[in-house]
Structure 1
Amino acid sequence: MKRWGLTIPLNGVPLMAHRELVERLPDLGYTDAWTAETAGNDAFSPLLLASQWAPRLRLGTAIVPVYTRGPGLLAMSAATLADAAPGRFVLGIGASSPVIVSGWNAAEFAEPFGRTRDTLRFLRAALAGQKVTEKYPTFSVNGFRLERVPDPAPGIMLAALRPGMLRLAAREADGAITNWLAPSDVPKVQAEIGDDLELVARVFVCPTEDREAARALGRRMISSYLTVPVYAAFHDWLGRGELLAPMHEAWARGDRKAANAAIPDEVVDDLLIHGSLAECREKVQTYQDNGVDTPLITLAVPGDDPAATVAALAPR
């Protein structure tokens, strides 16, 4: 099944002001509403509201870091959402980044592959109602059992960029979630997981025909993300290492202005969708045409009328 998702909440729109918008999403053609978790809303609260506002939507987290909640609390949070939206919730987990984990949440960012793998395995057991006493390679759990076991258990997807995590998702998860890639990159990512695993991709959309304004915004977003080591390695693997080398060199010198200026137009245009609303919708469709099962529209700029923007970007 081909799906079409929206990232909520929208920037600049109060959480409780989303009700009418979320209620309309299924009739517009959206199948999914997903959240992110960095330094704004937590991942679960907006979905709990959406579960009651739009009972037909599938809901997902893209993603919850595996370090910022203890394993038991993460299982409890997921079970609560799965209880509120039976059969409609997908838990997306991932390693996140040292800034979010260590800089903002005072946790040690160590062994991200192993911690993600072990959290996935713990959650499989815990959300199935098992009593878990296990010494995993990266943490231990002693005698944890959920008091409210969701029926059915939610699917679990992994945030995955490069082959190691993508292959882990293919072996043990219900899907892979990726980020910051161009439509032309999708086949390379999909080749690592095969045709049978769901591929979810967050796509950033800036609906404006002011190309220079869109590119200026895109450069700021790209330098903030792609200088993070895991994203830098991802784009090296995708083949953009040489194009992005001047950005990395300027960033390492502490010159953010020069780093932004060093990002080529072609990279911005590949990674940030911009143009008229019709052009943006067509570019989102290109991701799906190239192998993404569930594109998640993330509005970089909601515009003066966010509801109209969301309606115009709905699938045709």
Structure 2
Amino acid sequence: MITVDDEETKAMGSLDGLELGTFGIYTFDFEHQPAARVRASVRELEEQGWGAVWFPEVAGREALTLAGYLLAGTERLHVVNGIAQIWSRQARWTHGAAALLADAYPGRHVLGLGFGGRPRPGVKPLAAMAAYLDELDALESSPDSPAPKAPIRRILAAYGPKMLELARDRAAGAQTYHVNVAHTAQARQALGPDAFLAVEHAVLFEYDPVTARAIAREHLHPYLTTPYNIAKFRRLGYTEEDIADGGSDRLVDDLVFWGDLEGIVERLRGHVAAGADHVAVQVIGIRPGESAVPHWRRLGEALLP
């Protein structure tokens, strides 16, 4: 079994006193699975020893309601919104829900916020996020707001230097999604040594290069065909040729780690070496009707102390 040095594990994965561990699981599965299966899956994650589970907000279940359901079904697992879209609810409802979760499950919920969703002409993501945080701060300092047992921890989805600076100054840190290891090093520099940095990365247990890249391209297609994601990939240093026609082998191999367990684990550790506190691993390539749980178990045996 591949092991993690105990001292390294203690140093990584900390979010303002919360120990998420160096590695966690990121999944879209809870967006569409029946509730009973969601509960069974998240309990299995906890039993396997994972410290944190991350999930997005897409077109399925409301993010903070789902966070509450996952927290209620587990005892120790940290649940992270990765991310809750600021357009899905007004700041007062976000604050009210997050305060309730902090009170009911002290130290186990992390509120990840992001611009997300479809582009909004004339709306600048940085300004919109700053204004939303202003509202949250005002609500938190209001004497009429409930006082939870534990503080509300929040992080921001951030890629560019200005949003990373906002995450450093107005939140506990940042989460990145579909980035390469070089960006993790850049993000750490922008955040400084103390802010929390979590990195999502997709992995695929497939040995054949042609098959692996075909599956990876299918996964990446929505991100390679939307303007704001394309802009992000350009900032990461990829050319128009890299982005076109489903993505070059270089881009695909950087954004989806595929192959055997040893190789995938080694590449995931590259993010930690580059400055990530926590890496949220997203397993892709799961066939309809199959479960990611066995793959989570394999990863856990390799990555968890």
Give the TM-score taking structure 1 as reference length: 0.80
Q: How far apart in 1 are the matches of 2:152 and 2:228? A: 27
Matched residue, 1:140: none
Matched residue, 1:309: 295
Between 1:24-33 and 1:187-196, the stretch displaced more is 24-33
Contact 2:283 2:292 in 1 (8 A): no
Matched residue, 2:217: 219
Q: Match for 1:122 among 135, 154, 166?
A: 135
Q: Using the TM superposition, give the Cα deviation of residue 242 of structure 1 relative to its aligned residue in structure 2, in angstroms.
A: 4.3
Q: How far apart in 2 are the matches of 1:287 and 1:23? A: 27
Number of matched pairs: 280
Structure 2 runs not aligned, ≥5 long: 1-10, 13-20
Aligned-partner SS, 1:224: coil
Cα shift readout 1:237-277 (whole Å, capped 9, x = no counterpart): 221134435x1xxxxxxxxxxx32xx211110100121234
Between 1:75-84 and 1:88-97, the stretch displaced more is 75-84
Q: Using the TM superposition, give the Cα deviation of residue 13 of structure 1 relative to its aligned residue in structure 2, in angstroms.
A: 4.4
Q: How far apart in 1 are the matches of 2:34 and 2:285? A: 15
Q: 1:15 to 1:183 in 2, by over 3 A?
A: farther
Of structures 1 and 2, the one with the larger relative CO (CA 8 A, separation 6+) is 2
Q: How far apart in 2 are the matches of 1:226 and 1:166? A: 22
TM-align CA RMSD: 2.3
Q: Using the TM superposition, give the Cα deviation of residue 32 of structure 1 relative to its aligned residue in structure 2, in angstroms.
A: 0.6
Q: Match for 1:16 among 30, 36, 40?
A: 36
For residues 111-150 of structure 1, what are the structure 2 equivalents within 5 Å?
111-128=124-141, 130=142, 145-146=144-145, 148-150=146-148
Q: How far apart in 1 are the matches of 2:97 and 2:208? A: 41
Matched residue, 1:295: 279
Between 1:275-284 and 1:186-195, the stretch displaced more is 275-284
Letter in 1 for 2:50: Y
Contact 2:113 2:155 in 1 (8 A): yes
Give the TM-score taking structure 2 as reference length: 0.83
Matched residue, 2:260: 276
Structure 1 runs not aligned, ≥5 long: 103-107, 132-144, 248-258
Q: Match for 1:82 among 102, 106, 109?
A: 102
Matched residue, 1:139: none
Q: 1:285 to 1:21 in 2, by over 3 A?
A: farther
Cα shift readout 1:169-206 (whole Å, capped 9, x = no counterpart): 11111010111111233111211111211101111122
